Amino acid sequence: MNNNLTSNDTSIKNQNLELENELNEIENIEMEYSNKEPESTKRSLKDKIGNFKIVQSMKKKVWPVLLPFIVVMSILVILPLVGIIIFSIVDPTGDSVKFSFSLRNFIQLITTESIMIVLGLSLLYAFVAAILTVMMAYPIALIMSQLKNKLLAKNMWVLATLPIWISMILKVLGLRSVFMIISVSSVGTPFAIVIGMIYMFLPFAIAPIYNGLENQDSIYYYAALDLKASKLKAFFHTTFRASLPGVFAGFTLVIVQAATSLLVVRYMGDGKINLITNIIENYFFRGTDFGYGATIAVVLAVLLLLIMGIMKLISNKFEVRGSKKWKSSSNPVIS
């Protein structure tokens, strides 16, 4: 009995001794790794630059990037616009320093029938020119977007946007010369003015329509064909519908420029047709009434701003905000 107890005690002691040795080995290994210095990692130049406080402070802020743009826009756009608005609502009192607030110019403009007719006529000219320009631009943009030869498509793109590179007055004089050769009597007619607007602003309609057609996926068109829809119906329900935001953008660009174009009206109208830009020029630069000219310009700008807002609202119906995907039609396209 005593011999058994002694052998058990001995085995327990041996086990404890082995366990103690293992613990000592583990502690030695931990101490060895804890004393080892971390390996130095090589940082790239991009990481080093990114660690600067100035760079880190600019990472999550957009305004430093937009600051030059804001300064330029403030000087070239906002300040002249504020000046025009101020001249439209102040009334000179005979002193070069003192002015008084007055809405006299706006009341005079609204109650002057001839000016309002010219204003409406100017918007009508611009509207007709914008519609015809978009109708001419769409087939050109569609052909360009469906060309398989990308080199040819790029050359067509350059050819379509080439008139933008040329001085506007040179283009107007060139078109006027063509009209003078073909038919002298055509100069000074509404037809000449509308053709002049189409010629001048056609590239501004082609560009957004082409972008809208180029970025869309043709899978919807082929899916409509698989559903036995006719080619015409599949085109209008998929391709044309998806390109409508580009169409509205092109229409807006053209109508805004056509309504404010002075050179086209002056040289193609030949003094026989006066639109609102001629009247604004007369009031501004011929010393008639600077304040009244500023009032007409402000009203024209507000009307164009309303047109742009309406076009944007209509365009949003066909575009998903924050995404490049277009809203798909809720109606299945079948024959």
Domain count, the chain: 1
Has this prediction a pTM greater than 0.75? no
Half-sphere exposure of 275 (CA within 13 A, CB side): 27
* pLDDT > 90: percent of the chain: 18
Decide if 295 contacts 88 (C-beta within 8 A).
yes
For residue 78, being part of any structural domain is answered with no
For residue 16, being part of any structural domain is answered with no
For residue 196, being part of any structural domain is answered with yes
pLDDT at position 322, please? 47
Radius of gyration of the chain (CA): 36
Q: What is the per-residue pLDDT across 275-326, written as a single tens digit (0 to 9) for each?
A: 888 888 888 776 667 788 888 889 999 999 999 999 888 888 776 554 444 4
Q: What is the per-residue pLDDT across 177-193, written as a single tens digit (0 to 9) for each?
A: 999 888 888 888 999 99
Three-class secondary structure of residue 31 per DSSP: helix
How confident is the model over 158-171, as a mean pLDDT?
Answer: 80
Q: Residue 329 — pLDDT band, cuts 50, 70, 90?
A: very low
Decide if 253 contacts 201 (C-beta within 8 A).
yes
Q: What is the per-residue pLDDT across 182-222, written as a single tens digit (0 to 9) for each?
A: 888 888 899 999 999 999 999 899 988 988 888 777 788 88
Decide if 279 contacts 115 (C-beta within 8 A).
yes
For residue 190, the enclosing domain spans 120-319
Domain CATH number, residue 178? 1.10.3720.10
For residue 83, being part of any structural domain is answered with no
323 vs 48, more confident = 48
Q: Residue 335 — pLDDT band, cuts 50, 70, 90?
A: very low
Q: Return the bridge partners of 100, or none.
A: 91
Q: How far is CA 201 from CA 95, 122, 165, in A?
A: 44, 16, 12
**CA nearest neighbour of 172 among 262, 256, 94, 75:** 262
For residue 203, being part of any structural domain is answered with yes
For residue 213, being part of any structural domain is answered with yes
pLDDT at position 250, please? 92
For residue 48, being part of any structural domain is answered with no
pLDDT at position 53, please? 66
Q: What is the per-residue pLDDT across 222-231, written as a single tens digit (0 to 9) for each?
A: 888 888 888 8
CA angle 126, 129, 133 (to 5 degrees): 135
Decide if 207 contacts 142 (C-beta within 8 A).
no
Which region holds residue 52: left if phi is over 0, alpha if psi is between -120 and 50, else beta?
A: beta
Q: What is the dihedral of CA 252, 132, 224, 229, to 10 degrees?
A: 150
Phi, psi of 104 (to 5 degrees): -60, -40
For residue 276, being part of any structural domain is answered with yes
Q: Residue 130 — pLDDT band, cuts 50, 70, 90?
A: very high
